[in-house]
């Protein structure tokens, strides 16, 4: 296993601080420093930016990010038991690690990072990972405050993020991510790499902002995709009826077939649907 710094092995850190992973917090600690270093490298050049990390736990990825040259790491940790272990890392890398105790869903990342160039890199807790991603890719201001996302999810979630039309995994998440971002799954990580081992394979996803997404009202797109995929087995003329009684006319005006189902519509099609829906509301 790689030796990236002079700090104790992660297993020793976990034992010393009694950091048994809590299922209620979605914790699975990644101990292999070869893998955490690979994730850090996948985030790109870190020397001139602030890295935002969510759920650092005992600090395996944190250490890899700092060893890879991150100018500054801001780590948000909900579990107060992990703070002493993270304090040891902070002392080893003076002035480069700031630890925020709190819930990442309730903390404004823009206020934390200021005007710095920001990369987000994290082994996200399983129970909040998808919601955090949605928050980051649906921020009203675009381009966003971040320049890249390098995130670990359950592989199933990674496949939903990068799915193509007509595939089983294609849904609302793929449309939102594909509309505003570029990228996808980089590599898988076996359950054996974690403590405790999860029941599923994980995947590291890397996304960068699409600086010129198709013009579209975000709220309209969210409503359209939620309705369409909420009843994905139904034809659009039926699934969109929850938004408008004239669903068939809406779909036709968008240049799509009313008998099509959500999984058949590409991102451009959903953008056209959203724009048509938004225009109809403005009348």
Residue partners of 131: CB distance under 8 A and separation at least 6: 105
- Within the chain, residue ranges assigned H as helices are 10-17, 33-42, 60-67, 83-92, 109-113, 129-137, 155-162, 172-180, 218-230, 236-239, 247-253, 267-282
Residues 6 or more apart whose CB falls under 8 angstroms from that of 119 comprise 43, 44, 46, 49, 50, 51, 52, 146, 147, 148, 149, 150
Residue 9 has phi, psi (to 5 degrees) of -55, 150
- CA–CA separation, 221 and 178 (whole Å): 12
* 77 is known to lie in a ligand binding site: yes
The number of angstroms, rounded, from the C-alpha of 93 to the middle of its chain's C-alpha atoms is 27
Q: What tokens does 44 get?
A: 């790109």
Distance in angstroms (rounded) separating the CA atoms of residues 38 and 141: 30
- Which residues in 221-246 are b (16+ Cβ under 10 Å) and which e? bbbbbebbbebeeebbbebbbebeee
**Is 127 marked within a binding site?**
no
User: Rounded to an integer, what distance in angstroms lies between the CA atom of residue 40 and that of residue 70?
Assistant: 9
Known binding residue 30? Answer is yes
151 φ, ψ (degrees, to nearest 5): -130, 145
**Residue ranges of the binding site:** 28, 30, 55, 77, 103, 123
Q: Which residues are annotated as a binding site for S-adenosyl-L-methionine?
A: 28, 30, 55, 77, 103, 123
């Amino acid at each position: 296993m790689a030796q990236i710094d002079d700090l104790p092995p992660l297993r020793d850190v976990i034992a010393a601080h009694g950091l048994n992973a809590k299922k209620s917090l979605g914790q699975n600690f990644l101990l292999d420093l070869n893998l955490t270093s690979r994730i850090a490298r996948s985030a790109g050049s870190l020397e001139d930016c602030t890295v935002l990390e969510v759920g650092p736990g005992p600090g395996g990825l944190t250490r890899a990010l700092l060893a890879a040259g991150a100018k500054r790491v801001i780590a948000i940790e909900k579990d107060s038991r992990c703070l002493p272990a993270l304090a040891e890392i902070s002392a080893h890398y003076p002035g480069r690690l700031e630890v925020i105790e709190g819930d990442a869903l309730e903390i404004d990342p823009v206020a934390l990072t200021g005007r710095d160039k920001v990369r987000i890199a994290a082994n996200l807790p399983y129970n909040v990972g998808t919601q955090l991603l949605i928050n980051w890719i649906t921020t009203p201001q675009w381009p966003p405050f971040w320049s890249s996302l390098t995130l670990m999810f359950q592989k199933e979630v990674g496949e939903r993020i990068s799915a193509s039309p007509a595939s089983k995994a294609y849904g609302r998440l793929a449309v939102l991510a594909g509309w505003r971002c570029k990228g996808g799954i980089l590599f898988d990580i076996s359950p054996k790499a974690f403590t405790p081992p999860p029941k599923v394979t994980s995947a590291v996803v890397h996304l960068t902002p699409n600086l010129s997404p198709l013009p579209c009202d975000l709220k309209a797109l969210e409503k359209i995709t939620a309705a369409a995929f909420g009843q994905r087995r139904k034809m659009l003329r039926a699934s969109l009826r929850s938004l408008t009684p004239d669903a068939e006319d809406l779909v036709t005006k968008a240049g799509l077939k009313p008998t099509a189902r959500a999984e058949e519509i590409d991102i451009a099609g959903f953008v056209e649907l959203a724009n048509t829906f938004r225009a109809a509301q403005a009348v």
